[in-house]
Chains A and B, each alone.
Chain A
Amino acid sequence: MGCVESMNYEIVLRDATFKESRDYIRAHFKEHIDVQPGFRVFDVHIIGLPPISIGLEGNFVIFPYTKPCHGTFLLRVEDEAEAARLRKLKK
């Protein structure tokens, strides 16, 4: 997951519980997909309790990023190709 540091990301939520981050995505993003733990977004394997929600907003992807000492962050990253890839999975 080292690539996260090199991404141009915005932190939507920090030091949240996993449930808080899932509830936030479902409440704030009309478009979202549910995936299983280990699902890869960018080069990040998503950590969490299934189902894990990933938000989509235009070309932005909003996804949970969990670290052992800092809980779960919700990150918002702009990437047209990744947003398109994730949208295809909804169909």
Chain B
Amino acid sequence: MTGEASTQPRTALLVLGCPQVPVQTSIALYLINRLKKAGITPVVAGNKAANTLLVVADPDRVYLGEVMDLDRAVARISDGKRDFDSCYVFIHNDAGVSYAATMGAISKGKVVVVVYGEHYEEQVAKIEFPCTIVAAKAVHNPLPLKKALDEAKPWAA
């Protein structure tokens, strides 16, 4: 929880978008790994398909920790029952931008948006709220987005 004693490990919520763009699952697992190495506890929130892609890819939960339904995560944060120190929102469509703006409004945590897809610049142009933007043209090949994340190192902030 944000605001708890400093002895608590930092937490991060990964808000997944629609999994129709292949790089999302790969980059989510990569980001989870980087967060854990930085001492940050990651929690994933997505729809059923996005969550299942991760759960099936990591059956021994080497990377994955808690996985939540996205609607439930929004409800818990909106109701003040839970919050995170940072929130990474995956964006490749208009709905992703809406979720990121929502997280910025309901969470006290720092918002980082991870923007990708064929038309990633169109989505970046819609982002007018305070956040850190990590963006790259990435659809099937996750490496441009991985490079952008490695350069930004948002987990180190």
Contact = CB atoms under 8 A, between A and B. Distances in A.
Interface string A48-84: 1110000000000000001111111000000000000
B97 A69 contact: no
A89 interface: no
B42 interface: no
Interface residues of B, number: 29
B127 to A, nearest CB: 9
A47 interface: yes
B96 A45 contact: no
A18 B97 contact: yes
Interface residues of A, number: 22
Contacts, number: 71
B40 interface: no
B70 to A, nearest CB: 7
Interface in B85-110: 93-99, 101-102, 104-106
22 contacts: A36-B105, A37-B101, A37-B102, A37-B105, A37-B106, A38-B102, A38-B105, A39-B78, A40-B78, A45-B71, A45-B75, A46-B102, A49-B98, A49-B101, A49-B128, A67-B47, A68-B99, A69-B47, A70-B95, A71-B93, A72-B94, A72-B95
Interface of B: 16-18, 20, 46-47, 49-50, 70-71, 74-75, 77-78, 93-99, 101-102, 104-106, 126, 128-129
Shortest Cβ-Cβ A-B pairs, 7 listed: A69-B18, A38-B78, A37-B102, A38-B106, A37-B105, A49-B101, A1-B71
